[in-house]
Amino acid sequence: MSVLFFHTMRYKVQDPRNASNDRFVLSKGHAAPILYSAWAEAGFLQEAELLNLRKIDSVLEGHPVPRQAFTDVATGSLGQGLGAACGMAYTGKFFDRASYRVYCLLGDGELSEGSVWEAMAFAGFYKLDNLVAIFDVNRLGQSDPAPLQHHVEIYQKRCEAFGWHAIIVDGHSVEELCKAFGQAKHQPTAIIAKTFKGRGISGIEDKESWHGKPLPKNMAEQVIQEIDDKIQNKKKLSPALPEEDAPVINIRNIKMPSPPTYKVGEKWATRKAYGVALAKLGHANDRVIALDGDTKNSTFSELFKKEHPSRYIECYIAEQNMVSIAVGCATRDRTVAFASTFATFFTRAFDQIRMAAISESNINLCGSHCGVSIGEDGPSQMGLEDLCMFRAVPNATVFYPSDAVATEKAVEIAANTKGICFIRTSRPENPVIYNNNEDFHIGQAKMVLKSKDDQVTVIGAGVTLHEALAAAEQLRKEKIFIRVIDPFTIKPLDKKTILENARATKGRIITVEDHYHEGGIGEAVCAAVVGEPGITVNRLAVSHVPRSGKSAELLKMFGIDKDAIVQAVKVAVSKSRNAE
C-alpha cells in the first residue's frame, strides 16, 4: 500500500474522484483500515478520524463504501473487486482513451471465488494493459489456511494461462515492489506478493486465528513502539499528480433523438423493442454503452452493436462478471451502462447486484425471456424469480413494459434514473397498444381499459396485460366489464391509482403475472393495499416449476391466460352477488 500510494499511483489527494486519477480497488474489503490509513497519510483524512473506525457517526465503515470520496465501489463480498476494476480499466482504455491506470488488491482467500477468474479471463482477452492486480498471498484465510498457501508459483502459472504478465515478489520488499509496478507490458499485470500476516510481530506472524482481531492493548502498545523504532525517515510523502487527459463528458438528461415510430396493433416483442430503443439511445449520447453475455441475438442488444460497435462489450457467458464490469464502467459517471441477458441468468449475479446497490451504482439491467411464455425452452430458461429479486434491491426501479412504445420509454427513463434499473422484457410478440406520444413516468400506472360499469380491476403486465385485454373483450359479450391496469413499474408501484380503481370496482382486484407467486406483482399489490378496508386481491401466477410446451399451452396450464382471468372475474362477481 505504501509503494502504491506514494510511489506508483498518480492522483490528486484532495480530489479523489478526479476523472484522470489512477483508480484503486480494495477487493479484500476487510482490510479497510489500511486503506483509510493510506488516505490519512496522504492528507485527505484527519489522522484522528481513524480512531472512529466502524462507529455509527463515522464515514469509516467496516468495509469500503462510496460514502467515502476515495471509494468507487463497495467491497467486502469477496471476489468482486477485480471485475469492477476490469470495467474501470476497459473504460479507461477504450472509452476515455486516457492514461490513468487501475490497481486492484486481492486476498489469496478470495481467489477461490469463480468470479475472480471470470474477471481474469475478461482482462486477458481484452488485453487490459492499464490494469494491475496485486495478490496478497499471506497464506491464511479466515478460519483455515488458503488452499494453495504459499505456493506462489501455482498462482503465477494460473495467471499466465489467463493471459496475464505475472510477477512473483517478496511483498515486504519495497525495492521488489517498485520494480514490479514499473514493468509495462501489452497485457494486464498480476503481482503475486508473498507476504506473512502480522509480519514482524512476535507470536503473531504467520499464525492462525488472528483474522479480524485487534491486538490486546498491552501487546498493541509494545508492537506500535517496535514499528515506530524501525521507521528511519518520517518525511511526509506526496503522490505524483496525474496527467489530466480524461475527457470532460456529460451523461445528464439523455433524450431519444426522435419519438417512437410504432403503429398501434403492430406486433412486437418487447425484447426486440429494447434493442431498437438502445441502439437509438446510442445516437443521443456517445457514453451510452451496452454489455451482454453471449445472448445479444436473443436480447437484441446486437442492434446496438451493429450501430455502435466500439461501445458494445461482449462479456461472454459470465453474468456475475458482466454485472461487475457494468458497475466499473459506470463509476465516476464515465458511462451509462446497459447490460442484458435472460432474466433468469441474473439470479446467479444477485450478489453482484446487491453489492452494486451498496456501491450506489447507476447501472441498467435488461432481463429478457421472462416467464413461461417463452415456451419450448423449458424452466431453466424461464425468468420466474426476477421481479422478486429486483424488488428486494434497495433504491431499485423495476420496469415491466407491456408493448414496444412503453419499452422505448423505459429505456430512455432508465438512462436518466439513479440506482439500479431493471427492465423486464418478453419473448412473444404482442400488439402495440400505446400511441407514440404516450407519456410514461416511474411510479405511474396506465389505465388501459375503463368504463363506468366496471366490476373488477385486473392488473397485468407484459404478456398477461394482453391476456387481460382479451379476457375483457370476452367478458364484454356477457355484459361483464372489467378495468385493466398496466403498472409500467412494479417498483415503485402506483398505489394511488390501484386503490382508486379498486374502490371504484367494489374493492375487487385480480393480479395476473408470468412469474411465481412469491415476490411478484400480486405481492407488490397486496403490500400496497394492506390495511385498506373492503379490498380483496386474487393472485393468478405460476404455481410450481413449469415444463416445455407452447407459450399458449403454458399460460393455460398455469392459469394465467385469458380463460383463467375470465373465470376469476366471474367468481369474484358471483361471490359479491351471493354476499348481497
Q: Which residues are catalytic?
A: 319
- Strands 364-368 and 421-424 turn out to be parallel
Q: Nine-digit cell at 351?
A: 450478489
Contacts of residue 239, Cβ cutoff 8 Å, sequence gap at least 6? 5, 6, 9, 10, 11, 13, 42
Q: Nine-digit cell at 360?
A: 450506489
Do 495 and 503 touch, CB atoms closer than 8 A? no
In Å, how far from its chain's centre is CA 372? 24
Say whether 137 sits in a helix, a strand or coil. strand
Spell out where 414-535 has E strands. 421-424, 429-431, 446-449, 456-460, 482-486, 489-491, 508-516
In Å, how far from its chain's centre is CA 237? 37
Which own/partner pairs from 211-220 qualify as long-range (CB within 8 Å, at least 24 positions apart)? Answer: 211/140, 211/141, 211/142, 211/143, 212/30, 212/142
- Strands 131-137 and 23-26 turn out to be unpaired
Residue with cell 431453466: 380
Measuring CA to CA, which residue among 553, 569, 549 is closest to residue 561?
553
Name the phi and psi angles at 235, rounded to 5: -65, 140
Q: Nine-digit cell at 481?
A: 366489464
- Between CA 420 and CA 94 the distance in angstroms is 24
- Between CA 97 and CA 50 the distance in angstroms is 36
Contacts of residue 83, Cβ cutoff 8 Å, sequence gap at least 6? 115, 118, 119, 122, 320, 321, 323, 324, 325, 327, 328, 352
Sign of CA dihedral 12, 17, 23, 25: positive
Question: Nearest 5 degrees, angle CA 493-CA 508-CA 443?
Answer: 10
Q: Nine-digit cell at 490?
A: 412494479
Do 535 and 502 touch, CB atoms closer than 8 A? yes
- Between CA 98 and CA 90 the distance in angstroms is 11
Residue with cell 489469496: 108
The helix-helix angle for 350-358 and 319-330 (nearest 10°) equals: 20
